[in-house]
Amino acid sequence: MRRTLVLFVRRPALGTGKRRLARAIGDLGALRFERQMLALLLRRLGGDRRWQLRIAATPDRRPPPLPHRRARIEQVGQGKGDLGARMRRAIARCPPGPVVLVGADIPAL
């Protein structure tokens, strides 16, 4: 059975994420931080052969792409609903086997 790691993310976009941080360093600084953290997590987690990494992103529409280069990382939309509904959906869409879902806002992951 394959293990799946779901990385729950918001696609980085100017003025939409990291609002508390943006108040301190500005929208552009917050966007840069968000992109850098996501790229770091994808590098750390994407190459680990112990699991299949899957990205569950919001908003569901495609642009802008997430900063990863590995073709084996699947991207799926989170869909509609509250956080719990979106998390349940992301887990239910995984292949059989153990699943771990984590947020992309955990820098030390």
Domain of 42 in residue numbering reads as 4-103
- Answer yes or no: is 64 within a domain: yes
- Answer yes or no: is 80 within a domain: yes
Give residues with Cβ within 8 angstroms of 72, minimum separation 6. Answer: 46, 52, 53
Domain count, the chain: 1
> How distant is the alpha carbon of residue 7 from its chain centre?
4
Q: Are the CB atoms for 29 and 12 separated by under 8 Å? A: no
Q: Fill in the DSSP letter of residue 91.
A: H
Q: Are the CB atoms for 10 and 60 separated by under 8 Å? A: no
Pick 97 or 67 by higher pLDDT: 97
**Using one digit for the tens of pLDDT, what is the confidence trace for 36-53?**
888 888 888 888 889 999
Determine the pLDDT at residue 26.
95
- Answer yes or no: is 46 within a domain: yes
Neighbour tally for 43: CB within 10 Å: 13
Neighbour tally for 30: CB within 10 Å: 22
In 1-109, alpha helices (H):
19-25, 27-46, 83-92
Average pLDDT over residues 96-102: 96
Residue 98 has pLDDT above 80, yes or no: yes
Give residues with Cβ within 8 angstroms of 50, minimum separation 6. Answer: 3
Determine the pLDDT at residue 99.
97
The pLDDT-based confidence of 87 (bands split at 50, 70, 90) is very high
Q: Are the CB atoms for 5 and 102 separated by under 8 Å? A: yes
For residue 70, what is the domain's CATH number? 3.90.550.10
**Using one digit for the tens of pLDDT, what is the confidence trace for 57-84?**
998 876 455 665 555 688 899 999 999 9
- Answer yes or no: is 61 within a domain: yes
**Using one digit for the tens of pLDDT, what is the confidence trace for 19-39?**
899 999 999 999 999 898 888
